[in-house]
Amino acid sequence: MAASACDLSLFSLSTLPRNSQIHLKNVAFAASIVNNPRFCFNREKLKVNHGLKVHAVVEVGLEGSKSKTLEETFGFDVVSEGELKVKGFEGLRKTKLVCTVGPACSSLEELEKLALLGMNVARLNMCHGTREWHSDVIRKIKKLNEEKGFSVSVMIDTEGSQIHVVDHGAPFSVKVEEDSIWRFTVEHFEGSRPFTIQANYKGFSEGIEVGDELVIDGGMARFVVTEKTGGDLHCKCIDAGLFLPGAKFSFWRDGKLVRRNYELPTLSTKDWADIDFGITEEVDLFALSFVNNADSIKDLKNYLSTKSTKSIKVLAKIENLEALHNLEEIVQASDGIMVARGDLGVEIPLEQIPTVQEDIINICRQLNKPVIVASQLLESMIEYPTPTRAEVADVSEAVRQYADALMLSGESAIGSYGQKALAVLNMTSSRMESWVREENRQSLLNHRQLGASLPDHITEQICNCAVEMANKLGVDAIFVYTKHGYMASLLSRNRPNPPIFAFTDDDSTRMALNLQWGVVPLLVDLSDDAESNISKSIQHMKSKGLISQGDTVLVVSDVAPTHATHKAFQSIQVKTII
């Protein structure tokens, strides 16, 4: 297809066949939209910038001012930069990777290796370790970010008010042999005792009867209660397995979960202390364990707004039936979701986990919230260097369902092959993403309308149209200039074929976008001159060899002028590098 500006009186994306590729060098058109989101064309807007050829412009709110220009600072993380140079735009991995940091990977050298292998977010599980240990890990991650050019976000995962095993003194796991007899007690003691496990809650054995089954971490090991003495339980192992520090346990009777109301709050006293610790350490994300409804999410977000000058995002972990019953309100209240399949698998039949996982991912995408699939992705790699084929298939399915991120737990925290496990996630994600593009699955995505106001509707439509344009025109990349990341998230929600480069001058926004599918966040100094931002950033990428002559990018911006105005500056442009 080819046309000149004088020949082009009407151009409608709906007339293009699906999957069509357009050669853009001979196509030039421009459009403006003010208040009314309807396409019309204005040939007078056609122009050629210095070093850039403008093919299309769609603008909403044509107010702006030219002041300072984008400074020389250019926050491209070293891993994305390296991948782009080697693999090109199409080869960039879009699914984000989260690694739990534990004793097996807490040294500066090990953390650097994980970052080089693609770790986007480091998760710190407050069930384990002291605050001093976590503080040391956070310091190391920030040191790597500052000195080595990484962009790894830090997420604190609260312990939650849940009955679990107190750390039993062993550095990693304790093997449980079949027919061995163990004592579960609330007695407090230091270190470890043979065949003795401490529980963290005094009433853990209330309502439990002889003959009930005690299940560790959803099936890591299984016992039958043989004797009850006071608050202690004596149990015989019937399924050998592993005890991990902080392991959670549940009780079953006649094949059904024994439900007991302990009236425990979502956030314990320890959790609030851990949250204050995270605020002091300036972490980027909190993940709340055992969320039952939206109230705890709202309470924490209100607390953070008064205690922290930094914008810290709050994720909800979905791991019980109550959360599933209140799923939509939890998703709406949170900044993201973690599908904690291990604990969730204790509460619902195992065969329901795949469909529940897909439902949660779909709801999160509909409501424009990032979602992490967690727990037992590559569980066998805690002990073995190669995953099972079933585990690889499980990872691939989560990628096919368009999860924003995948998370390693014990595989990286205590496993012997954490780096290999991360490499498997990286390789599998990239391969499945390529296959999904060939299958054109994003064409099946439908989204509900989110905003209530006309400006919100316009913003959503701009991002929806931008992704449709990017896919149909076959552009190499999408550039979005954003203060708070909202337009970047809306673009990500549509799961476009090209990668999304999000330019922001807010570090909290940059670190939060590390969880968004397909988004490469870059920290830059933005001005209120949109053209200056675009020109300067492309010049920087050209100077680094990251973008070449002939590459085509679609540009979206929501950077508003600094002076008071009733209009936001929003635009779509298509540019070819010349």
- If one counts the domains in the chain, the total is 3
* DSSP type of residue 377: T
| pLDDT tens-digit readout, 224-251 | 999 999 889 999 999 998 887 777 788 8
**Which of 257, 275, 296 is where one domain is finished?**
257
320 and 218 fall within a common domain:
no
Q: Which DSSP string corresponds to 85-131?
A: HHHTGGGS--SEEEEE--GGG-SHHHHHHHHHTT--EEEEETTSS-H
**Which of 223, 257, 291 is where one domain is finished?**
257
| pLDDT tens-digit readout, 466-498 | 999 999 999 999 999 998 999 999 999 999 999
Q: Is there a domain that residue 506 lies in?
A: yes
Residue count of the chain, please give it. 578
% of the chain exceeding 70 in pLDDT: 82
- The token duo for 50 is 């210095």
- The token duo for 151 is 């962009």
Regarding beta strands 213-216 and 249-253, do their DSSP bridges make them parallel or antiparallel, or are they unpaired?
antiparallel
Q: Is there a domain that residue 31 lies in?
A: no
369 and 471 fall within a common domain:
no
Q: Is there a domain that residue 75 lies in?
A: no
- The token duo for 343 is 């604990």
Q: Is there a domain that residue 468 lies in?
A: yes
Q: Which pLDDT belongs to residue 231?
A: 86
Q: Is there a domain that residue 52 lies in?
A: no
- The confidence band for 321, taking pLDDT boundaries of 50, 70 and 90, is confident
Q: Is there a domain that residue 180 lies in?
A: yes
8 within 8 A of 28, measured Cβ to Cβ:
yes
227 and 277 fall within a common domain:
no
430 and 327 fall within a common domain:
yes
- The confidence band for 67, taking pLDDT boundaries of 50, 70 and 90, is very low
Q: In a 3-state reduction of DSSP, which class is residue 306?
A: helix
146 and 294 fall within a common domain:
yes
CA distance 206 to 213: 14
Give the number of other CB atoms < 10 A from CB of residue 18: 8
251 and 124 fall within a common domain:
no
Whole-angstrom CA distances from 75 to 159, 339, 425 are 34, 31, 25
Q: Is there a domain that residue 66 lies in?
A: no
pLDDT at 567 over 70: no
Q: Is there a domain that residue 314 lies in?
A: yes
199 and 338 fall within a common domain:
no
- The confidence band for 346, taking pLDDT boundaries of 50, 70 and 90, is confident
Give the number of other CB atoms < 10 A from CB of residue 169: 14
CA distance 182 to 17: 67
Q: Where in the sequence is the domain holding 409, given as residue range(s)?
A: 93-160+266-438
What's the CATH code of the domain at 173? 2.40.33.10
Q: Which pLDDT belongs to residue 468?
A: 92
What's the CATH code of the domain at 481? 3.40.1380.20
**Which of 234, 257, 280 is where one domain is finished?**
257
Instruction: Identify residue 395 by its one-letter amino acid code.
Output: V
Q: Which DSSP string corresponds to 463-522?
A: HHHHHHHHHHHT-SEEEEE-SSSHHHHHHHHT--SS-EEEEES-HHHHHHGGGSTTEEEE
pLDDT at 54 over 70: no
378 and 432 fall within a common domain:
yes
Q: Which pLDDT belongs to residue 21?
A: 40
244 and 354 fall within a common domain:
no
Question: Residue 197: which of 145, 235, 229 has the closest Cα?
Answer: 235
284 and 431 fall within a common domain:
yes
What's the CATH code of the domain at 329? 3.20.20.60
505 and 434 fall within a common domain:
no
Q: Which pLDDT belongs to residue 560?
A: 58
143 and 281 fall within a common domain:
yes
Q: Which residue has the higher pLDDT, 480 or 167?
A: 480
